[in-house]
Amino acid sequence: MSVDTDFIPATSEDKPEHSSIDVSSKTFWAQTSEKRDETFARLRREDPVSWQRPVQDAVNPDPDDPGYWAVVKHAEIAEVSRDSKSYISGQGVLFDLLPPYFLELSQSFLAMDPPRHDHLRRLISSAFTPKRVKRIEEQIKVAAREIVDSFAHESGEIEFVDRCGKQLPTRMFGDMFGVPDELREQVHKSAGDVVAWADPETLGDRSPDEVQIEACQTLHGIAKELIDARRAKPADDLLSSLVQAEIEGEKLTDFEIGSFFVLLSVAGTDTTKHTSAFTVKAMTEFPDQRDWLREDYDGRIKTAVEEFVRYASPVMTFRRTATLRAVLGGKKIIPGDKVVLFYPSGNYDEDVFDEPTKFDLSRDPNPHVGFGGGGTHFCLGNQLAKSMLRALFSELLTRIPDFEAGEPELLGTNFMRAVKRMPFRFTPEK
C-alpha cells in the first residue's frame, strides 16, 4: 500500500458514485445468506472494494456520513486486518453506527488500538496458563457430556439452540468468570440482547438504544458484584487475574473489567452457539460429510472443525477506519474512510476455496477468515471455541448420530449470522 499522510478527518474527496450493487439496505440484510452471497459473488467479480451508501436506518445515524468501502474478497480482508496502523479499530468496529456510550460499555479492547490494545490482550492471554487451559479442556468434555445427557434420552425432538447450542459456551463463560448458576441464564439473555439491535422480535416496542443499554447495564451490574467478591477473596479464575493485574503500574478499573465482561459474554458465547447450530444443519444437508467424519472422528475433527467455522461464518462484519492514504483493491482510500470487512464473503471467495458453497469437512488447507483475517485482533478465543465444538460434536455424533435439524429461525441483523430457534430430531439413546 502507498502511504503519504498522517490521520486527517474524513472528507468526501475523490469518491466514486455509490455502488449500484447495494449491501447497505435493510432489504439486503433481510435475505437468506445464500441470496446475500449471490450479491457478494457479483461484487467479488466486478467490484471487490466498492464504495457503498451509508447503512440504512442506522441506530445512531450521522447525517454527514458519506458511506463506506465494502471489502468482500479474502485477500483484501486479510490485508486490512493485518495492517492495524493504517486501519484502526479505536473509532468503532461495528458496521451499524451505534452511540459512543454503547461502544464504551461493550467493546473493550476489540475497539482499541496498540499499544493499549496489546497490553490488555497480553494480560488476558497470560491468564490462560497451560495449566488452566488443560483444566478448561477437561471441564469442556465433562460439560459436553452432561449437556447431551440432559436430552439424549428424551422423546427425540428438542429446540436445538436453547437445549444444546447455547449450553456449552454459556457454561464455559460462567466458569471462567465464576458466574453463579442462577445468573447464567440472565447473562446469556443480556449478551444476546447486546447484538440484537436490528431484530424486531427482540426489540418489541423498545428502541435499540433501550434494549442495548439495559443489557449492558445488567451485565456491568453482574460483573461489579463478581469483581467485588474477587477483590475480597481472590479465586483461581480469569476474573481474579484481571482484578489483580497491573498494566504499566496501573490496575484495571471496574468499568474496564465490566466492558471486557460484556465483550466476552457476547464474543465467547453467541459465536460458538451459532456455529454449532449451522453445523448440525449442514450435517443434515450433507449426510455424506457426517458419515465421513464419523468414520474416524479423532483423526478428522481437527480439519473438520475449521470447515464448521468457515461454513457458518457467524460474525458477518467488522469495521476499521483508515488513518493513511492507501490503495486497496485498486481504490483510493483516504484517512477517515470507513472500511467494512465482510467475512462470510471472504469465506466463500472462489479464488481461495474450491466449491465454496459445499460443506467439505476434508477441506485442507482451509485459510478461512471466520476468526478474522489475521493480525492484532485475531479472535482470542479461537482455540477455546474449537475445543468446545470438538467436544460437543464428539458427543452428538457418537450418541445420537442420526440427528436432523429443521428450518432455523434467523435473527434480523447485519452483524451476526444467528439462529434464534431450530427444531432438532433424533433417535433417543437407549
Name which of 333 and 341 has its Cβ closer to ligand HEM.
341
Instruction: Assess contact for 195 and 416: CB atoms under 8 A.
Output: yes
Determine which helix (DSSP H) or strand (DSSP E) holds 143, and give its type and residue range: helix 130-152
Q: By C-alpha distance, which of 393, 362, 103 is closest to 277?
A: 393
- Mark the segment that binds ligand HEM (CB under 6 A) among 138-146, 157-165, 264-272, 394-402: 264-272
Least Cβ distance, residue 73 to ligand HEM (angstroms): 16
Instruction: Assess contact for 334 and 14: CB atoms under 8 A.
Output: yes
What does the CA dihedral 51, 55, 56, 59 come to, rounded to 10 degrees?
-160
Q: What are the angstrom distances between the C-alpha of 319 and each of 87, 159, 352?
A: 9, 33, 22
Footprint on residues 12-51 left by ligand HEM (CB under 6 A): none
Coil, helix or strand at residue 318: strand
Q: Does 339 bind ligand HEM (CB under 6 A)?
A: no
- Mark the segment that binds ligand HEM (CB under 6 A) among 64-72, 271-279, 293-301, 416-424: 271-279
Name which of 74 and 152 has its Cβ closer to ligand HEM.
74
Based on the number of CB atoms within 10 Å of its own CB, is 45 exposed (0-12), middle (13-18) or buried (19 or more)? exposed
Looking from the CA of 175 toward its CB, the CA atoms found within 13 Å total 16
- Mark the segment that binds ligand HEM (CB under 6 A) among 7-15, 249-257, 266-274, 297-305: 266-274
Q: Does 70 bind ligand HEM (CB under 6 A)?
A: no
Q: Does 318 bind ligand HEM (CB under 6 A)?
A: yes
Q: Does 268 bind ligand HEM (CB under 6 A)?
A: yes
Least Cβ distance, residue 380 to ligand HEM (angstroms): 4
Based on the number of CB atoms within 10 Å of its own CB, is 6 exposed (0-12), middle (13-18) or buried (19 or more)? exposed
Residue 182 CA, chain-centre distance (Å), reads: 26
Q: Does 372 bind ligand HEM (CB under 6 A)?
A: yes
**Torsion angles phi and psi, residue 20, rounded to 5:** -80, -15
Could you say which of 310, 331, 377, 390 contacts ligand HEM (CB under 6 A)?
A: 377
Least Cβ distance, residue 375 to ligand HEM (angstroms): 6
Task: List the Cα angle 28/30/35 in 5-degree steps.
Answer: 65
Could you say which of 243, 267, 277, 422 contacts ligand HEM (CB under 6 A)?
A: 267
**Torsion angles phi and psi, residue 91, rounded to 5:** -100, 20
Could you say which of 144, 309, 322, 418 contacts ligand HEM (CB under 6 A)?
A: 309
Least Cβ distance, residue 307 to ligand HEM (angstroms): 12
Footprint on residues 181-210 left by ligand HEM (CB under 6 A): none
Least Cβ distance, residue 43 to ligand HEM (angstroms): 20
Could you say which of 277, 324, 385, 391 contacts ligand HEM (CB under 6 A)?
A: 385
Least Cβ distance, residue 409 to ligand HEM (angstroms): 20
Q: What are the angstrom distances between the C-alpha of 146 and each of 151, 380, 401, 403?
A: 9, 26, 17, 18
Name which of 172 and 400 has its Cβ closer to ligand HEM.
172
Q: Does 127 bind ligand HEM (CB under 6 A)?
A: no
State the number of binding residues for ligand HEM (CB under 6 A). Answer: 28
Point out the residue whose Cβ comes nearest to ligand HEM.
Answer: 381
Least Cβ distance, residue 104 to ligand HEM (angstroms): 15
**The one-letter amino acid at 357:** T
Name which of 152 and 191 has its Cβ closer to ligand HEM.
191
Looking from the CA of 390 toward its CB, the CA atoms found within 13 Å total 20
**The one-letter amino acid at 40:** F
Name which of 81 and 289 has its Cβ closer to ligand HEM.
81
Name which of 19 and 317 has its Cβ closer to ligand HEM.
317
Could you say which of 191, 380, 405, 410 contacts ligand HEM (CB under 6 A)?
A: 380
- Mark the segment that binds ligand HEM (CB under 6 A) among 148-156, 178-186, 202-210, 261-269: 261-269
Could you say which of 378, 394, 425, 429 contacts ligand HEM (CB under 6 A)?
A: 378
Task: List the Cα angle 271/275/278 in 5-degree steps.
Answer: 140
Cell 468496529 belongs to residue? 93
C-alpha–C-alpha distance, residues 253 and 363, integer Å: 44
338-342 and 68-71 beta bridge pairing: parallel
Q: Does 54 bind ligand HEM (CB under 6 A)?
A: no
Binding site for ligand HEM (CB under 6 A): 81, 109-110, 121, 263-264, 267-268, 271-272, 275, 309, 314-315, 318, 343, 370-373, 375, 377-381, 384-385
